[in-house]
Structure 1
Amino acid sequence: MQRIIIGTAGHVDHGKTVLTKKLTGVDTDRLKEEKKRGISIELGFAPLTLPSGTQVGLVDVPGHERFIKNMLAGIAGIDLVLLIIAGDEGVMPQTREHLDIIDLLEVKNGIVVVTKSDLVDEEWLELLHEEIKEAMVGTVLENAPIIPVSAFTGQGIPDLLAMIDKMAQEMPPKMITGKMRLPVDRVFTITGFGTVATGTLWSGRLKVGDTVEILPGGQNARVRNLQVHGAKVTEAIAGQRVAVNLAGVEMEEIDRGCVLAQPELLTPTHRIDVKLHLLKHVEHPLEQRARIRVHHGTQEVLGRVQFLDREELQPGDSCFCQIVLETPLMPLRGDHYVVRSYSPMITIGGGTIVDSLPAKHKRYQDQVMENLALKFKGEPKDLVLQELSEDQVGLVMPKDIASRTGMEESLIQEILSELTQFQEISYVHGEGTSYYFLKAQEEAWLEITKKRLGQYHHTYPLRSGMPKEDLRSRDFSHLPGKIFNLLIERWLKAEIIKGESQSLALLDFAPQITPPVAQAIQLIEEELLKEPYSPPGWDELAEKAGLKEEEKGEIMTWLIKNQHLVKVSDEVIFHQKAFHEAKERIINYLREHGSIQLAETRDLLKTSRKYALPLLEYLDQSKITIRKGDQRLLKNANL
C-alpha cells in the first residue's frame, strides 16, 4: 500500500484551505472537533481517498511559516506538492519563495493548481499559463502539469483528482529503511490519554509499547497509543502522518520542533557541516559570519555561517561550509535544510547536511575541504545502501555500484558481504554474477506477489496457479526476465511460494471445488453420458448446469485438465468414459477389418457425421490412426 503525503504551497489567500476542503470534505482550520475524535491530527491535515481507492494524506499549510516547517518534515514527509496559484492574481512573490523551497527540498513530484479559475476568462487563463511555465523554468516543477480549478463550482476538480491519482500510482513503493525519527509539528493533551505529539514519520517503524527519546531534552517516554489517518493502529511506518500518545511525559516537556527518535540515535548539536546553495535571485552575496535562520525538520534555529574557503558566497553558487547554531539541532547526514535571512525573513538557500557532529574547522585548509567532499559523497556502506535503494530496478551488480560511486569493486564486495551477513540485503546469483537488493525491497516485492497471487486464486479458484509471465507483466515488468526468474527461483527454493510448471501459487493454496460447482459438474457428466456418442454442446450443458458466463470457461478447462472431458474439436466434447469406449471400438474394428471409413464409424457408434468426423480427426492428431484417402488405418499395429 502506498504511503503518500501531499502538501499544499502558495501565496496567502490563494485558496489552499478552501481547495483542501473541496477535495477532502475536511476544514483543516477547525480545532473544536479535536476532543470529540480523541487522538487527532486534523489541524492542517486531512485524509483523501483518490478515485482508485488509494488513501493519501493531504497537509494543508495555509501560513508561510507552517509551510516551511511541514515541508521540512523530511523527504519522507511530503511526496507530492500542489503549488496553488490564484487565477485572478497569478504568480506572486510568496509563490516564488515557496517554489524556491520546493526546489531546495527536491520535491520532484508536483502539480500547479490554478484556483479561482471561474473568476477569469479563457484568454486570461492562457496568458497565466504562459506566465506559470516561465516561472517554473529551471525548477523541479518545470514539467509539472498545470490544472485550472474552481473550488466554488467544482470545475477541474475531477481532473485534479485524476492527476493526483495517476502520479500516486506511478510513485515507487517507499522503502521502510533507517531508524525511527519523527519531527514533532504539534502537541496537545486529551483527558484520559495525556500528551499527544503529531508529525510525519521520517524513517523506520514505530510501535505501541516502544520507548522513544524526546530531543533535545533527552527524556524517554513510552508509546501508549498510535493513530494513522484518524484510525487506531499498533504500528506506524515511514511516510505516514502519525499521532503518538506518550506515557510518562508532560505536555510542557515537548514542543513543536522536538524530535521523537529511537533512543541513542540522535545527538543534539550546535555545529553542522553542510553543502550550501545560495539562490541565484538573492540580491546580495552571503557574507562570512552572517546571521541566518536554519530550518530543519519542524525546527527553526538561529546560527552563523562559517565559510571555510572564501569570504562570501555569490548568488547562484554552492560551497561546503560550517554553520554554528545558537540552539541545538538533531540532524543526520544527508538531511535537507533551508536557510532564511535573519531580517527580512526570506528564503535565500539551503542544501544537504554533510556531517551532523563535526569538529571546529580551521579555514583555508585543503584537507578539510577534501574530507568534506568525501563525506558529501557518503561513507562507503552508506553509498552502497543508497545505490541499492535508489536504483530504478532495485537489483544491482557490484560493478554497477563501483562505477556509480567511484569506489573499488573489491571494497564494494566486502561491504556487500557484511550487509548480507547482517541480513540488511539479499542477493540472487546467475550467469556468473550476483544481483544485490535490500531486504526491505524484497519484502515489498513479496508483499506485491502474495497479494497478486491471492487475488488470482480468488478469481480463478479452480486453477492451480497464476502464470509466471502474467505476474511479471502485471507487477514486475521493470525487471529483466532473467532477474525475475532468478528471484522466483529464490522464493521457490525457500518455500515462500510454490510452483507447478510455469504457474505460481501461495503455499497454502489448493484448487477449490465448492458444493455448487461439484453439483454442476455432476449434472454435466450425467448429461454427457445420456447419449455418450452424440453429446450436447458445451453452451447447452453450461446452461442446464446454471453456470455463470465467467464460470463456463474455468470449469471446462478444469474438467479437461483433470481428464473428466475430452475436447475433440471446438464444438464437440466427449465424456472421458465415452471417448475411451469409442476409441476402443474403433481400434477393435480396425484390427478386424484393417480400415474404417466415416460412414462405418458413424454406424459403429450409432451417431452422426457431426460427431464421428471430429472424433476421427482427433485420433489422427493423436497418432492413433492415419488417414489414406477416405480410409483410416491403425498407425501403430501394436495397439
Structure 2
Amino acid sequence: MHNIIIGTAGHVDHGKTCLIKALSGFDTDRLKEEKKRGITIDLGFANLPNDAGLHIGIIDVPGHEKFVKNMLAGIGGIDLVLLVISLEEGVMPQTVEHFEILKMLHIKQGIVVLTKEDAVDTDWADAVEEDVIGLVKDSFLENAPMIRVSSYTGKNISKLKDMIISMVADLAGRREEAELFRLYVDRVFTMEGFGTVVTGTLQEGSVKTGDDVVLYPAGREIKIRGIQSHGQKEEQAFAGQRTALNLLNVKKEELSRGDILAYPGSIIKTKLIDVKVNTFKTSTRELRSGDRIHLNYGSAQVMAKVILLSKDFLRPGEGDYAQLRFDDDVVLKRNDRFIIRFLSPVETFGGGVVLDIAPLKHKKKDEAVLENMKIKELGSDFDTCELKIAEESHRFPDRHRLAGLMGMTSAEILNIIDTLKTKKKIIVLSDDTFIHLAYWKTITDFSQELLKNFHKENPIKEGMGKEEFKSKLSEQFRLKDSRKSLVLLEELVKRMVVKINASFVADRDFLAEYSAEMNVMLGEIKDIYIKAGIEAPLTVSVIDEFKDKNAAKEVIADLLKNNELIKLNPAVYINAQAYNDALNTLVDFMKDRKEFTLAEFRDLFSTSRKFALQFLEYTDKKRITKLNGDKRVLLKNI
C-alpha cells in the first residue's frame, strides 16, 4: 500500500492544527500546555482518512519561533507540504523561515493553504494572495495549487482533501528494502504491559516484528517486539509510514529524540562530514569559517564547527563546500538534508546536503579537495563510489562499509564494483575488500623498491624472508590485521609483481648471481673450508677474514644451501667432501671393530679432541654413531 507523509509549515496561530482537525477529525495538540496556550509546542500526528487505498499521515509542526527545533524534527522527509498562511495576517516571519527551510530541505511538492477565509473580505484576501505569490516565485511552490479554506465553516476542506489525495496518488513510492531501514525517533514513552515505545516516520526501508535493529549512535542492538502503524497492529512497517515500535530490553531513559533505529551495519558513526552548505537569502548575518552552529537533521539537533573550504565567510544567499566537525558521534547518510542555526541569538539561517560521512580532514582552499567535492555533489553514483574507494583504500573497505558510505544496499554496491572492476579502476582482493588502482600502484611501487634494495645488498640470496616482507608491508601501510599482509602478498604474486620460492619473496625478475668480486670471495671461502678438512673453523673466524662481512655471510649461506658445506652446529660448518671422506675413513676403520673411543677417532685423523668431538656430536645427532658410556658404535643403517 502507498504510504505518504504530509507536513504542515507556517507561522504560529495561522491555523495548522485546526486545519488538520478539519481534514482528519483528529486534534494533534496532545500536551496540556498546548491546550492551555493554544499553540502547538511539539509534533502532532494524524491520519487522513480516504477511499483511495492510501496511508496518509499528517505531521503538525509548531510555528512559534521558540519551537523551530521541534518543527525541524518533523518536517524532514515529508512527501508533500501544506504551507499554511492565515488570510488575517498574511506572510509573517515564521512563514518566511519555514518556507526557506522547506526549500533548503528540497521538499518537491506542496499546496499553499490560505486559512481563516471566513474572517476576511475578498479584497483583503486577494491582496494577501498577491503577497504569497511573490513569496513562492521561483520556488517549488511557484506553480503549486493555492486554495482558500475555513476550518471553522468547513469551506473548501473537502476540496483540499481531494486535492491532496490526487497529488499524492502519483508520488513515487519510497524504497522498502530491509537493508535501508531507518527511523528517526521523535517520541519515546512507556506503555503498561508493553514497555518502551518509540515513534517516528519510517524514512526508508522496512522492518518486521522480531527483527534485530541497532540503536544509533549508541550502537546497541535491540529487538522489535511489536509494530503499530496508523493505529493498527502490524507485522511489518514500510517506508513512508508513521510507525510506533515496541522495543525489547531497553529502558525509556536509554533513548531520546534524535536517536536512529536502523538495519545493523547500515549506519557509520562519524565526527566529521563533508557538506555543501547554503545560507538563506533572507538571513541577516554572515557565516564565518570556524563558527559553531546548531545542525538539525532527522529529529536530532547537534553542535558543529563549520570549516568553509573555499571561502572565509558566507554572505546571505551564498554557498560553499564545508567540513563539519562534531564533538560527539552523529549518524547521517550521504545525500541527507540538514538545517543550520546560529547559537546565539538562535536563528535559522541555512542548510545543505551531506556529501561524505567519512572524509579525511581537509585543508582550506585545496584545489584537489574542491574538485573531489564537485564529484561528490554532482557526479554519478559510479564516479562517487570510485572516488570513495580511492579515499578509503588505506582502510581496505568491504561492500558493507561501502554500502554505508554510499547510502546504498549491498547489491547496488556490488553492481558498481563489478563495473569498476571490469573497467580496471579497482582491485578486488581475496578477502573481498577493495582498493583503487592508484593505491595498488603505491603498494606495488613500495614492494618493488623494497626488494630492489634488498637484492642489491644480498645479490646471491634467494630473496627476503616471507615473514619479514609481510612485516614491512604491515608497517608501511599500517595494517591493523596481520592477515591483510598475506592477502596483499598473494595479490602481488598473482599479478606477478613478486615471486615466492619456499619461504623467500623476490622481485619477479630477480636472479641470484655472483659479481666478479663475490666470485673471488667464493673461491677464497671454498679454499678455507677445503684446507681445514675435518678441523672445521668457527664461522665468525671465516667471516672476519673479509672486509665485506655481509657478503661473506651470504656466500657461506649459499654454499650451505648448495650442499657444499654441512652445518655441524650453529657456529661451525665443514666442507661436505671433507665430511664424507672422514665418514668413509671411519667406516673402513670399523670393519674389524665393534666400538671406538674419542681418542681413537682423534688419532685416526691426527686432529685435536675439540675437532674430533664436534664431528662426532654431529654424527650422534644424525644417528650415524651412538655413544655408549665412553665409547661409540657405528650404527648399521649408515
TM-score by length of 1: 0.57
Does 1:62 find its partner at 2:80?
Answer: no
CA distance in structure 2 between the partners assigned to 1:414 and 1:227 by the alignment:
35
Q: Which has the larger radius of gyration?
A: 2
Task: Indicate how the Cα distance of structure 1 residues 142 and 302 shifts in structure 2: closer, same or farther if over 3 A, else same.
Answer: same
Equivalent residue number for residue 207 of structure 1: 208
Equivalent residue number for residue 118 of structure 1: 118
Equivalent residue number for residue 394 of structure 1: none
CA distance in structure 2 between the partners assigned to 1:287 and 1:326 by the alignment:
19
Give the partner amino acid of 1:176.
E
Deviations 1:583-611 (A, max 9, x none): xxxxxxxxxxxxxxxxxxxxxxxxxxxxx
Equivalent residue number for residue 140 of structure 1: 140
Equivalent residue number for residue 101 of structure 1: 101
Equivalent residue number for residue 191 of structure 1: 192
Task: After superposing the two structures, state which structure 1 stretch, 319-328 or 19-28, moved more.
Answer: 319-328
1:85-100 equivalence runs, <5 A = 85-100=85-100
Task: Indicate how the Cα distance of structure 1 residues 414 and 325 shifts in structure 2: closer, same or farther if over 3 A, else same.
Answer: closer
CA distance in structure 1 between the partners assigned to 2:322 and 2:334 by the alignment:
14
Segments of 5+ residues of structure 2 without an aligned counterpart are 33-41, 386-412, 423-638
CA contact (8 A) 2:62 2:70 kept: no
CA contact (8 A) 1:70 1:185 kept: no
CA distance in structure 1 between the partners assigned to 2:330 and 2:343 by the alignment:
17
Equivalent residue number for residue 287 of structure 1: 288
The structural deviation recorded for 1:269 is 1.9
CA contact (8 A) 2:63 2:94 kept: no
Does 1:23 find its partner at 2:23?
Answer: yes
CA contact (8 A) 1:102 1:140 kept: no
Give the partner amino acid of 1:309.
S
Give the partner amino acid of 1:7.
G
Give the partner amino acid of 2:110.
G
Equivalent residue number for residue 250 of structure 1: 251
Does 1:152 find its partner at 2:152?
Answer: yes
CA contact (8 A) 1:303 1:326 kept: yes
Task: Indicate how the Cα distance of structure 1 residues 213 and 146 shifts in structure 2: closer, same or farther if over 3 A, else same.
Answer: same
Task: Indicate how the Cα distance of structure 1 residues 332 and 53 shifts in structure 2: closer, same or farther if over 3 A, else same.
Answer: closer
Equivalent residue number for residue 47 of structure 2: 47
Deviations 1:427-447 (A, max 9, x none): xxxxxxxxxxxxxxxxxxxxx
SS at structure 2 position matched to 1:26? coil
CA contact (8 A) 1:69 1:299 kept: no
TM-score by length of 2: 0.57
Equivalent residue number for residue 11 of structure 2: 11
The structural deviation recorded for 1:382 is 8.2
Identity of aligned residues (%): 44
1:395-474 equivalence runs, <5 A = 415=416
Equivalent residue number for residue 324 of structure 1: 325
Give the partner amino acid of 1:82.
L
Give the partner amino acid of 1:143.
N
SS at structure 1 position matched to 2:180? coil
Give the partner amino acid of 1:62.
P
Task: Indicate how the Cα distance of structure 1 residues 173 and 267 shifts in structure 2: closer, same or farther if over 3 A, else same.
Answer: closer
Equivalent residue number for residue 168 of structure 2: 168
CA distance in structure 1 between the partners assigned to 2:321 and 2:332 by the alignment:
17
CA contact (8 A) 2:181 2:262 kept: yes
What number of residue pairs does the alignment pair up? 385
The structural deviation recorded for 1:67 is 5.9
The structural deviation recorded for 1:362 is 1.4
Deviations 1:558-615 (A, max 9, x none): xxxxxxxxxxxxxxxxxxxxxxxxxxxxxxxxxxxxxxxxxxxxxxxxxxxxxxxxxx
CA distance in structure 2 between the partners assigned to 1:87 and 1:294 by the alignment:
33
CA contact (8 A) 1:9 1:67 kept: no
SS at structure 2 position matched to 1:49? coil
Task: Indicate how the Cα distance of structure 1 residues 314 and 143 shifts in structure 2: closer, same or farther if over 3 A, else same.
Answer: same
The structural deviation recorded for 1:414 is 7.2
Give the partner amino acid of 1:205.
S
Equivalent residue number for residue 240 of structure 1: 241
The structural deviation recorded for 1:110 is 0.6
The structural deviation recorded for 1:160 is 0.8
The structural deviation recorded for 1:378 is 4.8
CA distance in structure 2 between the partners assigned to 1:74 and 1:147 by the alignment:
21
CA contact (8 A) 2:43 2:70 kept: no
Task: After superposing the two structures, state which structure 1 stretch, 44-53 or 228-237, moved more.
Answer: 44-53
What root-mean-square deviation, in Å, do the aligned CA atoms of Structure 1 and Structure 2 show?
2.7
Equivalent residue number for residue 373 of structure 1: 374
Equivalent residue number for residue 37 of structure 2: none
Task: Indicate how the Cα distance of structure 1 residues 144 and 379 shifts in structure 2: closer, same or farther if over 3 A, else same.
Answer: closer
CA contact (8 A) 1:292 1:340 kept: yes
CA distance in structure 2 between the partners assigned to 1:255 and 1:289 by the alignment:
29
CA distance in structure 1 between the partners assigned to 2:238 and 2:154 by the alignment:
34
The structural deviation recorded for 1:344 is 2.1
The structural deviation recorded for 1:72 is 5.4
Segments of 5+ residues of structure 1 without an aligned counterpart are 33-41, 385-411, 422-639
CA distance in structure 2 between the partners assigned to 1:6 and 1:354 by the alignment:
26
Task: Indicate how the Cα distance of structure 1 residues 416 and 358 shifts in structure 2: closer, same or farther if over 3 A, else same.
Answer: closer
Task: Indicate how the Cα distance of structure 1 residues 189 and 6 shifts in structure 2: closer, same or farther if over 3 A, else same.
Answer: same
The structural deviation recorded for 1:373 is 1.6
Task: Indicate how the Cα distance of structure 1 residues 220 and 280 shifts in structure 2: closer, same or farther if over 3 A, else same.
Answer: same
Give the partner amino acid of 2:264.
P
Deviations 1:145-176 (A, max 9, x none): 11111111001111211211111122223332
Does 1:131 find its partner at 2:127?
Answer: no
SS at structure 2 position matched to 1:338? strand
Equivalent residue number for residue 569 of structure 1: none
Deviations 1:112-160 (A, max 9, x none): 1111110001111111110100011122212221111111100111121
The structural deviation recorded for 1:200 is 0.7
The structural deviation recorded for 1:7 is 0.5
CA distance in structure 2 between the partners assigned to 1:158 and 1:109 by the alignment:
20
SS at structure 2 position matched to 1:306? strand
CA contact (8 A) 2:61 2:75 kept: no
Does 1:298 find its partner at 2:299?
Answer: yes
1:234-633 equivalence runs, <5 A = 234-378=235-379, 380-381=381-382, 415=416
